[in-house]
Amino acid sequence: MTNIYLTPERLELQARAREVAMTEVLPVADKLDPRGEDIPDTLIERLAAEGYFGIRVPTEHGGLGLGVFEYALVTEELSRAWMSVPSLMARANGFGCQVTDPERRAELLRRSARGEWIGAFAASEPGAGSDLAGVACRAKRDGDHWVLNGEKRWTGNVVRAHFIVLVARERDPEPGEHRAAGLVALLIEKEPGTLPEGMTATPIDKIGYHGITTYQLRLDDVRVPLAANTEGNAFAEVVQGLNVARVHTAARAVGLARGALEDSREYLRERRQFDRPLASFQALRFALADMAADIEAARALTYQAAHALDTGDETATLPSMCKLVATEMAVRVTNQAMQLHGGNGYTTERRVERYWRDARLTTIFEGTSEIQRTLIADDLLGRKR
């Protein structure tokens, strides 16, 4: 389909990602997701060879040197197969490379692009979800170390990770200061398969989003060298990264909704009732048409938001809008897809149940739909946060 954003280079990247998704990711997802298993190392190595962990890493550091748009394009394709795969991609692509020493930063970016520096993000806590400024985990300076105490919830990939970016509170806000004042984002280096001394991780039994194990963390006097970390603006960088994360989540939602649509189209053709294929019943044809139109509208908004970020327009609430529209769309579309599959949709024999479970998460994580609406309404009404 012609689209002003889709240059020949982007179409090529998209076609390649589609091939990788359908031939290499989908079979692995079909096998491992129903068993709740993690994305295997062999698949991570394949994705690294394609450069997907370094799409946004500059070429001089071994990345593809591309923008948010290309990142979203690849994300949609991979999510069509397994949403957890681009979620892992987001834990590389320059994430956890914000150190002050230029040589060290260059080394981390190189490792990030190669898929050898994949992290975990520990912001949420049992008492701090939508209200990120409510983080209570304490970071206290002790000589040349930070000492961390508290709890974290929903930290995905933490055991396998090479590092953790952890948001903690160094001090309480002064009267009149923003509630986020005193928060710091710390980089905790670790060996994959291990945890720092004083940190324990308990897996959370989720209903979907398999492929990445999610944990609740407890921190008792965890010591982190001061020198490894950025000072001052690390939390601001985390917040800035949320705009890209919102576009990325919108692309994930579009991808898995497309999976549900494509599988439904096949099912309507193959399944017969009343001596006719389901595809001949107008009610079902119309449902399929509505699904396709819904997906295309969400994709258009996602492209627009990605383009805005690539061209330096950080002022609008387009990332929130596309996150809201695409994820709510994915819930509707995957729900309809399950209906079109009848009883077979309600089994693990068909992929539609995976799309349906994963879609349900997209309106919750990376800022809930209510939080996106709050941001959009604040912008419309000129309210300061």
> Which residues participate in catalysis according to the annotation?
366
Mask of contacts with ligand FAD, 205-244, x by CB under 6 A?
Answer: -x--x----x------------------------------
Query: Coil, strand, or helix at residue 122?
Result: strand
Mask of contacts with ligand FAD, 309-348, x by CB under 6 A?
Answer: ----------------------------------------
- Cβ contacts of 60-64, under 8 Å, gap ≥ 24: 61/106, 61/109, 61/110, 61/112, 61/113, 62/109, 62/110, 62/113, 62/114, 63/93, 63/94, 63/109, 63/112, 63/113, 64/113
Considering the rule CB under 6 A, would residue 180 count as an interface residue with ligand FAD?
no
Q: Which residue is nearest to ligand FAD (CB)?
A: 129
If one counts every other C-beta atom within 10 angstroms of the C-beta of residue 266, the result is 10
219 φ, ψ (degrees, to nearest 5)? -120, 120
Considering the rule CB under 6 A, would residue 88 count as an interface residue with ligand FAD?
no
Of the candidate residues 121, 235, 267, 355, the single one contacting ligand FAD (CB under 6 A):
121
Considering the rule CB under 6 A, would residue 364 count as an interface residue with ligand FAD?
yes
256 Cβ neighbours under 8 A, 6+ residues apart? 79, 80, 83, 330, 334, 355, 358, 359, 362
Considering the rule CB under 6 A, would residue 281 count as an interface residue with ligand FAD?
no
Considering the rule CB under 6 A, would residue 368 count as an interface residue with ligand FAD?
yes
Of the candidate residues 39, 322, 361, 375, the single one contacting ligand FAD (CB under 6 A):
361
Q: Are strands 214-225 and 145-156 parallel, antiparallel or unpaired?
A: antiparallel
Q: Tell me what percent of the chain is helix, strand and coil, each rounded to the nearest 5.
A: 50, 15, 30
Total residues contacting ligand FAD by CB under 6 A comes to 20
> What sign has the CA pseudo-torsion 326, 65, 186, 42?
positive
Residue closer to ligand FAD (CB basis): 179 or 265: 179
Which amino acid is present at 293?
A
Of the candidate residues 95, 146, 154, 356, the single one contacting ligand FAD (CB under 6 A):
154
Tokens 């994915």, residue located: 330
Min dist CB 132 to ligand FAD, Å, is 8
Min dist CB 124 to ligand FAD, Å, is 3
Give the Å distances, CA to CA, from 179 to 147, 154, 175: 22, 22, 9
Which amino acid is present at 243?
N
Of the candidate residues 75, 79, 155, 264, the single one contacting ligand FAD (CB under 6 A):
155
Of the candidate residues 36, 129, 134, 198, the single one contacting ligand FAD (CB under 6 A):
129
Stretch that binds ligand FAD, among 41-49, 217-225, 349-357, 370-378 (CB under 6 A): 370-378
Cα–Cα distance measured from residue 24 to residue 47, given in angstroms and rounded to the nearest whole number = 9
Cα–Cα distance measured from residue 254 to residue 248, given in angstroms and rounded to the nearest whole number = 10
Tokens 């400024």, residue located: 133
Please give the structure tokens belonging to residue 260. 């549900």
Considering the rule CB under 6 A, would residue 124 count as an interface residue with ligand FAD?
yes
Residue closer to ligand FAD (CB basis): 238 or 288: 238
Residue closer to ligand FAD (CB basis): 206 or 332: 206
Stretch that binds ligand FAD, among 180-188, 232-240, 343-351, 363-371 (CB under 6 A): 363-371
Residue closer to ligand FAD (CB basis): 16 or 218: 218
Considering the rule CB under 6 A, would residue 95 count as an interface residue with ligand FAD?
no
Q: Contact positions toward ligand FAD, by CB under 6 A?
A: 121-124, 129-130, 154-156, 206, 209, 214, 361, 364-365, 367-368, 370-371, 374
